[in-house]
Chain A
Amino acid sequence: MSDVATVCPYCATGCGMRVSVQAGRIGAVEPDPAHPVGQGKLCLKGLYGFRHIAGPGRLTTPLMKRGNGFAPVSWATALDAIAEKLGALKGSGAFALTTSGHLTNEDSYLAQQFARSVMGTDAIHAGAPSAPGLQAAFGSGAATNTVPEIGAVSDLVFIVGSNTAECHPLVAKHVLAAKARGATLIVADPRLTDVANKADLWLRVTPGSDVALLNAMQHLIIKDGLHKLGFIRDHATGFDALAAAVAGCGPEAASADTGVPAADIAAAARAFGKAGSAAILCATGAARDGTLASLANLTVMTGQIGRAGAGIFALQGAANSQGAADMGSAGPVDLPGAILAGQVRALFIAGGNPAMSQRDARSFHKALEKLEFLVVSDLFLTETARHADIVLPAAGWAEKDGTVTNTERRVQRVRAVVAPPGDARADWWIFQSLAQRMGCKTMAYPGPQAIWDEVRRSAPAKFGGISYIRLEQAHGLCWPCPAEDHPGTPVLHAGGHFATPSGKAALVPVPFVDVAPARDGAFPFVLLIGRRVYHFGTGTMTRRAPLLAQIGPEALIEIHPADAAALAVRDGDFIEVGTALGEVVAKAWVTERVLPGTVFATSHFWEANANEAAGASGRTPARVAKISASAARAALAQTRADYRPDLERAVAIRMQAAL
């Protein structure tokens, strides 16, 4: 029995864990006692979410579409077919690539090399956005600080658009540690999440109104003279314009926009303005509508940036979302739009399930059907892979060596613990083999370490000092780390020196635009979308981990007791929530966690995927839906969930594939 140190494959917290192997399979997972973020703990996904690795349904051989199903083929056949098809599209702009935060840095680097060098396109998508709002303000889109600083240093924690307890449980641990030290916790969230219920001040903002709240806080901070004029003068540009813009953003108007009492907005502003070291935690909920840019303004005007415990802790989604962005996956294209417009005709999806994870998933299905050629590499025959012409069996997180970069920019080693099943191969090998077949003989790396060394050479300022040898000793190193003797950079923008051309933070006014969906008689509700702690993404891995599937067996739609009573819905009844785009049927969870007039659903369950009802209109540079809220109707479901019309077909294809 051996014991291998690696990193949890789920969220971007990147907790360290030790995996023991019994009879060639993962036997157990234990937390790494010395890991700086996990600090000897893991959540249930890390501890118990591994049985899918050796579970049934793993793809073990390449598959090619034959009729209504798939036939197993050899790697040579599959790669030759892909090379022939894609070879005809070189340089045409008709090819796009989607990578994800489930790939290693080495996988992602070769994926983007393949797209750029071989296919001649920059259309490379990652599943999750980084932080473009911060990029404009600070010259870097990454989180500014590391998680342990929250528990050790911060005396105020302000959480905006992050369900930290469920989406980053071990980050929440550090928030509670700060609170135990006496730090003030302020949470802005429309839902009573399990960090909102710990808050000293819970600002129950109506969906999409964060910017109104933040502008009013800045208004009050300037009015009360709590801004740091010296820091602003030395380290920022654009303050006068920002001050003029927020001068008209009083708390009374913000109260009307946000639904938060003016006195609470004032209390939040005062607490933030007087804080010693304020940590702002934000996630997907803040990655749009200028919320991040507005948060950047708030930190700079109060000098809450560039010090330990003070900054913007932008929490990424998947284990290597930060790494996927770092490796160059950041195409600006609206992918389904580009496919439907006929611009993109061939697509390679590596390690993602956009058929479920994209907002307005039904349109995305249509886009996938319209594609001339789709290749998917994954561990399982996902909802996306079923649309593919060729499916490639990928090695899973426990079956390959490499590095991943967590939400703190901490580059960490992941290690092969077990052998991949059948003919499954690492994604870097897939892209390299394809490139070689398509004439790119220079892509010939013997393994992940050689690829990483190439990454270090091509981005020495960021990664130059992060070698595999150093990563053997350390629990990761935070980039930028330019030299072998450099300790890494936990705190970005130290001393107020920003990565912008001027070296100063760029303050830009962010006007509040009410993007909340207009409710009317036909659609009186707002549908919010989010996650549950016991599942991840589209459930591809967690629903195949029996313990997690036992704890989270089914989708639940949260609805307020008053709304439930009006609709004669009891807890556990099936309800149907519909929007202009689609509908989702699942069991009702009657709870005060949601506001009256709002319902909350998830995209973990293919049979009840709220993304089929959630709007994708109004894309922003962050490339996620402008606001994860849509006007909706809700009613008791008339029949037992006839979940999805294509269920039988999906199962038929799946059974054929299993042959």
Chain B
Amino acid sequence: MNRFVIADPDKCTGCYTCVAACVSVHETVGLVAHPRLTVMHTAKVTMPVQCRNCDDAPCEKVCPVTAITFQDHAVQINESLCIGCKMCSLACPFGAITPFGTLPEGAGHPVYGGLAEPIDHDPEPVHPILAWAAGQKAVAVKCDMCHFLPEGPACIRVCPTEALRLVDDAALNQSAADKRAKYSGMLAAVHAPGVASNR
């Protein structure tokens, strides 16, 4: 089955450390330096949202050039094959795929609104779809589970509050088993009033 990273909003403090780690590890291995998770702030919760690596992934279905494939229990995008058509971004039910510009070969990392000198860019950031210069192309960017790191996703490792976790077969089975135990405990209380449940 698929594997994915998910956040617990009760533990997430919105510190963006996962976002920074994501950019850093991908930049280091030569992939697009753009975060694969997005911190959402709603009226109730704050948490990063990222790809769920769906088993029957809509992005994989719509990709016209087979740049998106299911490998090692996760959906992977080949940045070299991607033609930047953005169909996957439209199809994704979680908003987990962002089109982002690659850098022309040899160009340095762009400084986004930073103070590094000299100022050679428009200080106003534009929409990600337009955030690249001539010679760049848009590629689909999404969580790749840091498949190139033996220790697994960087976001999980750096999160100061352990709000992120990997969901795989074992984790899902454990979670289901825990809930079944809780549920049966509740049933026991219903059927035998006055008798303490074994919770």
Contact A57 B117 (CB under 8 A): yes
Contact B20 A169 (CB under 8 A): no
User: How does the 8 Å CB contact mask read for B15-49 relative to A, with 1 for contact and 0 for none?
Assistant: 11101110110000000010100000111111000
Binds A, one of B69-77, B80-88, B105-113: B105-113
Contact B44 A165 (CB under 8 A): no
Q: Identify which of A170, A534, A554 contacts B16 (C-beta below 8 A).
A: A534
- Answer yes or no: B170 CB below 8 A from chain A CBs: no
Whether A198 contacts B10 in the complex (CB less than 8 A), given A48-B20, A546-B112, A547-B24, comes out as: yes
Which B residues are CB-close (under 8 A) to A651? Answer: 119
Contact B13 A194 (CB under 8 A): yes
Binds B, one of A37-45, A83-91, A456-464, A521-529: A37-45
Which A residues are CB-close (under 8 A) to B115? Answer: 57, 380, 539-540, 543-544, 549
B159's closest neighbor in chain A, by CB? A41
Within 8 A of B (CB), among A44-62: 44, 47-48, 55-57
User: How does the 8 Å CB contact mask read for A607-618 relative to B, with 1 for contact and 0 for none?
Assistant: 100000000000
Q: How distant is A242 from chain B, measured CB to nearest CB, in Å?
A: 35
- Answer yes or no: B95 CB below 8 A from chain A CBs: no
Within 8 A of B (CB), among A157-214: 165-166, 169-170, 172-173, 176, 192, 194-195, 197-198
Which B residues are CB-close (under 8 A) to A654? Answer: 117
- Answer yes or no: B56 CB below 8 A from chain A CBs: no
Whether A43 contacts B113 in the complex (CB less than 8 A), given A170-B160, A173-B161, A592-B43, comes out as: no
Complex CA gap A547/B23 in Å reads 8
Which B residues are CB-close (under 8 A) to A57? Answer: 115-117
Complex CA gap A169/B163 in Å reads 13
- Answer yes or no: A548 CB below 8 A from chain B CBs: yes
- Answer yes or no: B114 CB below 8 A from chain A CBs: yes
Complex CA gap A548/B113 in Å reads 10
Q: Identify which of A195, A547, A549, A593 contacts B113 (C-beta below 8 A).
A: A549
Contact B117 A165 (CB under 8 A): no
Q: How large is the interface on B (under 10, 10 to 19, 20 to 34, 35 or more residues)?
A: 35 or more
Complex CA gap A55/B111 in Å reads 12
Within 8 A of A (CB), among B114-166: 114-119, 123-125, 158-161
Contact B116 A56 (CB under 8 A): yes
**Which residue, B24, B113, B115, has most C-beta atoms of chain A within 10 A?**
B115
Contact A551 B13 (CB under 8 A): no
Which B residues are CB-close (under 8 A) to A170? Answer: 160
Q: How distant is B22 from chain A, measured CB to nearest CB, in Å?
A: 10
- Answer yes or no: A553 CB below 8 A from chain B CBs: yes
Complex CA gap A126/B62 in Å reads 59
Which B residues are CB-close (under 8 A) to A547? Answer: 20, 23-24
Which A residues are CB-close (under 8 A) to B58? Answer: none
Q: Identify which of A48, A172, A534 contacts B13 (C-beta below 8 A).
A: A172
User: How does the 8 Å CB contact mask read for A426-438 relative to B, with 1 for contact and 0 for none?
Assistant: 0000000000000
Q: How distant is A542 from chain B, measured CB to nearest CB, in Å?
A: 9
Q: Identify which of A56, A165, A548 contacts B14 (C-beta below 8 A).
A: A165
Contact A176 B112 (CB under 8 A): no
Complex CA gap A195/B42 in Å reads 14
- Answer yes or no: A467 CB below 8 A from chain B CBs: no
Contact A47 B19 (CB under 8 A): no
Within 8 A of B (CB), among A578-596: 591-593
Q: Identify which of B33, B46, B117, B118 contacts A197 (C-beta below 8 A).
A: B46
A549's closest neighbor in chain B, by CB? B114
Contact B44 A550 (CB under 8 A): no
Contact A197 B44 (CB under 8 A): yes
Contact A544 B114 (CB under 8 A): yes
- Answer yes or no: A443 CB below 8 A from chain B CBs: no
Which B residues are CB-close (under 8 A) to A549? Answer: 111-116
Which A residues are CB-close (under 8 A) to B161? Answer: 172-173, 176
Q: How distant is A2 from chain B, measured CB to nearest CB, in Å?
A: 20
Contact A550 B13 (CB under 8 A): no
- Answer yes or no: A533 CB below 8 A from chain B CBs: yes
User: How does the 8 Å CB contact mask read for A647-659 relative to B, with 1 for contact and 0 for none?
Assistant: 0000100110010
Whether A44 contacts B20 in the complex (CB less than 8 A), given A170-B160, A553-B125, comes out as: yes
Contact A554 B113 (CB under 8 A): yes
Complex CA gap A551/B17 in Å reads 10
Contact A546 B119 (CB under 8 A): no
**Which residue, B17, B114, B125, has most C-beta atoms of chain A within 10 A?**
B114
**Which residue, A195, A546, A654, has most C-beta atoms of chain B within 10 A?**
A546
Whether A47 contacts B20 in the complex (CB less than 8 A), given A41-B158, A56-B117, A172-B161, comes out as: yes
User: How does the 8 Å CB contact mask read for A409-432 relative to B, with 1 for contact and 0 for none?
Assistant: 000000000000000000000000
Complex CA gap A195/B41 in Å reads 13
Complex CA gap A197/B14 in Å reads 11
Which A residues are CB-close (under 8 A) to B159? Answer: 41
User: Which residues of B are at the interface with A, using a C-beta cutoff of 8 A?
Assistant: 10-17, 19-21, 23-24, 33, 35, 41-46, 109, 111-119, 123-125, 158-161
A-B contact pairs, 7 of them (CB 8 A): A47-B21, A170-B160, A534-B16, A544-B115, A546-B111, A551-B20, A554-B124
The 4 closest A-B pairs by CB, nearest first: A553-B113, A549-B114, A165-B13, A592-B43
* 7 more CB-based (< 8 A) A-B contacts, given A47-B158, A540-B115: A44-B17, A55-B116, A543-B113, A547-B20, A550-B33, A551-B19, A553-B113
